[in-house]
Amino acid sequence: MRLTKMHGLGNDYVFLDAIAEPALQDIADPAGLARRVSDRRFGIGSDGLIMIAPPTEAAREAGAGLRMRIWNADGSEAEMCGNGLRCAVKLAAERGEIVLRGGCVMVETGSGVLRARVGWGPGLEYSRVDAVSVDLPPPRFDVGAVGGEESLLPAACRGVPGPFGEVTPRRVGEWESVLVSVGNPHMVAFLEEPIESVDLGRIGPAMERHAAFPKRINVQIVNVLARDRARMRSWERGAGLTMACGTGACAVLAAGYATGRLGPCAALELPGGQLFVEWDAAARALRKTGPAAYVSEGDWLGDEVITDPPFPVLESERLLLRRQEWSDVPAIHAMMNHPEVGPKLLTPPVPYPEGEAEKFVARTRRGFREGTAMAWAIQPREGPAFVGNIGLRIEKQHSRAEIGYTLDPAHWGKGYASEASRLVLGHAFGAMGLQRVFASHFVWNPASGRVLEKAGMTLEGILRQHVNRRGTFEDCRWFGITKDDWARGREGVS
Mind telling me the catalytic residues?
81, 245
- DSSP H/E element including 360: helix 356-370
Closest Cα to residue 424, out of 445, 409, 402, 442? Answer: 402
CA 175 to chain centre: 39
Q: Three-state SS for 207?
A: helix
What whole-number distance in Å separates Cα of residue 55 and Cα of residue 85?
Answer: 14
Strand 185-190 to 218-226 pairing: parallel
What whole-number distance in Å separates Cα of residue 435 and Cα of residue 452?
Answer: 17
Buried residues in 187-221 as b, exposed as e (16+ CB within 10 A)? bbbbeeeebeebebeebbbebbebebbeebbbbbb
**Under 8 Å between Cβ of 314 and 427:** yes
What whole-number distance in Å separates Cα of residue 363 and Cα of residue 1?
Answer: 10
Closest Cα to residue 53, out of 23, 83, 74, 82? Answer: 23
Closest Cα to residue 220, out of 183, 195, 197, 239? Answer: 195
Mind giving me the DSSP string for 398-447?
A: GTEEEEEEEE-GGGTTSSHHHHHHHHHHHHHHTTS--SEEEEEEETT-HH
Cα-based angle 180, 47, 129 (whole degrees, multiple of 5): 85
What whole-number distance in Å separates Cα of residue 103 and Cα of residue 17?
Answer: 21
Cα-based angle 142, 232, 264 (whole degrees, multiple of 5): 60
What whole-number distance in Å separates Cα of residue 144 and Cα of residue 128?
Answer: 41
Q: Three-state SS for 231?
A: strand
**Under 8 Å between Cβ of 159 and 168:** yes
